[in-house]
Amino acid sequence: MILRRKYLRKFYMMRSDFEQTLIPLLYSALHHGHAPSVEYLHGKTIPYAEQPQRIENIRSALEKSGLVNLEECGDSVPKSAILKAHDAGMVEFLETASDRLNQVMHSDAAAYRPSPDQNYLYPSVFPVRSSMNRLRENARGPHGFYFFDTEAPIGRETWKAASGAASLAYAGAELILSGQTHVAYALCRPPGHHAGIDFMGGYCYVNNAAIAAHHLRAAGKVALIDIDYHHGNGTQSIFWEVPDVLFISLHADPDTDYPYYSGYADETGPHGTIINKPLPPGTGETDYLAAFDEVTPSIRAFEPRSVVVSLGFDTYQDDPLGTFQLTANTYHKIARRVAAFKLPTLLIQEGGYAVESLGKLAVSFLSGFIVP
């Protein structure tokens, strides 16, 4: 891990309790290598909403805010940490996908000629999982085996970017486990919460929050709070049967919003450690915060030793993908509630597509962890 530990120790002295002066902002430039130009949605080709500028705007605003200390990380996550969250076959597929990309695009060019982005492989045929469906080695074709939608195209640098994002999450968990900080912000891109044990989709390839939460289990139970607009179907799949991780998700009702097939309130898991709070389209601050306050007693009763937040800003009122009506100030109020748990907390960047506003939303959120 490329972290200057002495430097960190100097800057992250506790002021009192769990408040601190500067929050580590973990960043990697590897995300720039992954930049699909288009996505296919409901039969339309539209610009790819999950773009590199999202992260750069957040980084720039947070650096200017004086709330953070930027720490650049390399690709340092151990493979074993990724394999705690994901199927080995899926990880191998993703890691070697750039080679397959060359093979598929050159040998089956006809299938890709219509693609407006010749640099990315867009899965388009998905198996209903059964023993009849196999991924044959060196098979040609559109490689939809590990995907549930068309929103996670693979390019030559996708694995590096995804592994780089997972490295930030892992490094953040390391900082917390070592006691060097009580709050850290991993500026992950691509996001991760739609990536499950053996499936990818929704801009997500590797589940950064799940990798961090698995690592933090070394110190005891973990509460993973997902406040992205969309249900964290991938995270839920990973922790469905894990009794010492409480997964709480506030999100748009899957009756009306992506990912449609999960996130309903009756999905609680075999240990009762899954809490889903689907909210109606157009939900505003008052109802959102009330829903958050409703789950707070369950989080406290679980007695976690640390908190991971899947931090999506697509609940913002101007987000082009969401319908919620949260304002910039709402994020400060959410963060105050998270800070009130007084537990070591790792923030993992997920969605948020109002690109020009993301910086101020991140600053508003993070200010909730700083003593006024």
CB nearer Zn ion, residue 172 or residue 191: 191
Residue 278 interacting with Zn ion (CB under 5 A): no
Angle at the Cα of 323 from the Cα atoms of 321 and 324, rounded to 5 degrees? 120
Window 87 to 106, contacts with Zn ion (CB under 5 A): none
Residue 353 interacting with Zn ion (CB under 5 A): no
- Respond yes or no: is residue 194 known to be catalytic: yes
Range 143-178 burial, b when 16+ CB lie within 10 A, else e: bbbbbbbbbbbbbbbbbbbbbbbbbbbbbbbbbbee
Residue 351 interacting with Zn ion (CB under 5 A): yes
Both tokens of 297, joined, read 């007693």
Window 309 to 328, contacts with Zn ion (CB under 5 A): 312, 314
Candidates 127-135, 175-183, 213-221, 223-231 — which segment interacts with Zn ion by CB under 5 A? 223-231
CB nearer Zn ion, residue 86 or residue 194: 194
Closest distance of CB 251 from Zn ion, Å: 8
Q: Site for Zn ion (CB under 5 A): how many residues?
A: 6
Q: Which entry of 34, 143, 194, 231 is annotated as an active-site residue?
A: 194
234 within 8 A of 192, measured Cβ to Cβ: yes
Residue in 122, 145, 229, 365 binding Zn ion, rule: CB under 5 A:
229
Max CA-CA distance within the chain? 63
Residue 230 interacting with Zn ion (CB under 5 A): yes
Both tokens of 66, joined, read 């004086």
Candidates 222-230, 279-287, 288-296, 299-307 — which segment interacts with Zn ion by CB under 5 A? 222-230
CB nearer Zn ion, residue 71 or residue 319: 319
CB nearer Zn ion, residue 228 or residue 267: 228
| Residue whose pair of structure tokens reads 């992250």 in the numeric block | 12
Q: Which residue is nearest to Zn ion (CB)?
A: 351
**CA nearest neighbour of 316 among 286, 354, 348, 362:** 354
**CA nearest neighbour of 298 among 192, 183, 221, 218:** 221
332 within 8 A of 372, measured Cβ to Cβ: no
Q: Applying CB under 5 A, which residues contact Zn ion?
A: 228-230, 312, 314, 351
Instruction: Report the catalytic residues.
Output: 194
